[in-house]
Chain A
Amino acid sequence: MWRHFPHEADIGVHGSGESLERAFEEAAVAMTAVITDPDSVACRETVAVTCEAPDRELLLVDWLNALIYEMATRRMLFRHFKVEFEGTRLHGTACGEAIDRARHQPATEVKGATYTALTLFEDPPGMWHAQCVVDV
């Protein structure tokens, strides 16, 4: 499950699922939805990313920033994500396709994930949430 939450100048991305890994994956879908309708993105190519940060909150920001970097340098959009933790590291994959400006109608570019409204929490037990504001 993913959703957006409001921020005065920008936009918040929120992901939730039965584990923190799923919540991270859904937060990434929410970030794609800032740019385009995620269902308009086909899975044609998979990109692997690895990040490392001293805590899980910083790791969420790192994960989203790693995806922003891959989107920008590969000129791709992503739809399906997979996350695994290994200590302070995150190993992830993102599957997507090259940006097609006519079909995807990208609304805006995401400049960076921020530490604003950055939280990870479990509510109710067994349901994990991960969120932060992204700068657009």
Chain B
Amino acid sequence: MDTTQLTRVSEFEWRVEPRGAMRVPGIIFASAELIRAMDDKVLEQVTNVASLPGIVKASYAMPDAHWGYGFPIGGVAAFDADQDGVVSAGGVGFDISCGVRTLLTGLQRADIEPVKERLADALYGSIPAGLGSTGRIHLDESGMDAMLAGGARWAVKRGWGYREDLERIEEQGCMEGAQPQAVSERARKRQRDEMGTLGSGNHYLEVQEVSEIFDPDTATAFGISRGDIVVSIHCGSRGLGHQIGTEFLKSMVISAHQHGLTLPDRELACAPIDSATGQSYLGAMRAAINCALANRQIITYLTREVFERVIPGTTLDLLYDVSHNTCKVEDHLVESRPRRLYVHRKGATRAFGPGHPELPAEFRDTGQPVLIGGSMGTASHILAGNRESETSAFSSACHGAGRAMSRRSAYKTWMGRQVIDDLHAKGILIRSPSSRGVAEEAPGAYKDVNDVVDAADAAGLARKVAKLRPVICIKG
């Protein structure tokens, strides 16, 4: 990115002053190295988002920002319904409520080493991954409605988890305000056989070892210490979310002029929060959030079954579940005044700090766990929300590494088999239905997640707690 148009506010904060149609400034959190490596499109998209009606304070980009659709991936923007604010399908993305959950196993590396291959095969055998896979659960119409309204709470009621899990999920496992009736027949049909499936692309289930602790007190509060084995699941709302994103993107593009919206880019398609389209999208999008929460809950259930079979007596406790493609109604202080805002996080994780009323008691002193997934074969991180993040970017942090290389270049550069063998030599087992998929997701195709996390920590968005090293990766 050409930084000459930016003002460097601090070592990790860059600002573009309002110009042209911009209503608020643009703010990018990054180190000098990360911002130089960012595509110029990120600045263009941050600027475009800043021009949308009802935007409050600023249009933000996280340290892992990259070129997205309308909104940058790694973008955060909040809108006020009372100031003609909008909701945007592109500002949430196709994979609604894609996110990460991490489970504590109580095991150490030595416990799994003798059964590593068997565990990898059993997880790969039990958790449907990749294109064309179907889940064990098939939903009829009333089951679909109950799932869309109930999220993880529905899944737990059906026996796929414990009540205690729900306290460790954003929204306590169930997004309020979901309107199953706003979810189309086509979206439902795409989901009928996809409950409890990982999907493909950068989605995965990983068995990981805690390799480093940065904040011992918070790590203790989170129940993690060096050498512990954890399991992380990265996936979203599957076909249902994709279909909802597709349908509302189109209807928002077509209805934009009726709402008097002039869009600098069609992908910025949005609708006033108080319009029929806006309300219908919010209802459908919240139902998709519930679908993602239910999906990760079912995969958790399948994972628990596998561990019980391979290492009997193991209990998997949920640390936390975060979503990084959402629009949520939240109360934030703006110039010392509390305001109710529609916060879009596209490829950004919520990071509520200590004392936030929505956090369960056990995280009141630490802030919420912020789970940052790496790419296949690379590190992941656990961070914690900071109090000052509230004033920086509506309590938001980064979500992952972000690609450094296109899929095509990655496929031309690496052979899937070779990637699997190289990672095997480092003690990392990969199980995937597609060797081309593995090549496209090769570790070298992504930016270094450590740099992104360091920048998020240094910028005060969230603080580093622990680093995780992959041991087994089930890749979609």
Which residues from chain A sit less than 8 Å from chain B, CB to CB? 4, 6-11, 34-35, 53-54, 58, 61-62, 65, 68-69, 72-73, 75, 99, 101, 105-109, 111-116, 118, 133, 135-136
Contacts and interface: CB of A to CB of B under 8 A. Distances in A.
A135 B437 contact: no
B17 to A, nearest CB: 26
B406 A11 contact: yes
Nearest to A100: B132
Nearest first, the 10 closest Cβ-Cβ pairs linking A and B are A106-B131, A99-B132, A6-B406, A107-B436, A115-B266, A111-B242, A8-B67, A107-B437, A109-B131, A109-B200
B69 A108 contact: no
Interface in B85-126: 93-95
Given A58-B250, A111-B242, A116-B267, 18 more contacts: A8-B66, A35-B131, A61-B250, A62-B250, A69-B190, A72-B239, A99-B132, A105-B435, A105-B436, A108-B200, A108-B434, A111-B201, A112-B243, A112-B246, A115-B249, A116-B69, A135-B95, A136-B200
B261 interface: no
Given A62-B250, A73-B190, A115-B253, A105 B408 contact: no
Contact of B67 (A9, A68, A101, A105): A9
B132 to A, nearest CB: 4
A69 B250 contact: no
A11 B408 contact: yes
Given A108-B407, A109-B201, A72 B190 contact: yes
B364 interface: no
Contacts of B73: 9
A106 B436 CA distance: 8
A11 B199 CA distance: 18
Interface in B415-450: 433-437, 440
Contact of A135 (B94, B200, B403, B433): B94
A78 B346 CA distance: 31
A75 B39 CA distance: 36
A113 B242 CA distance: 10
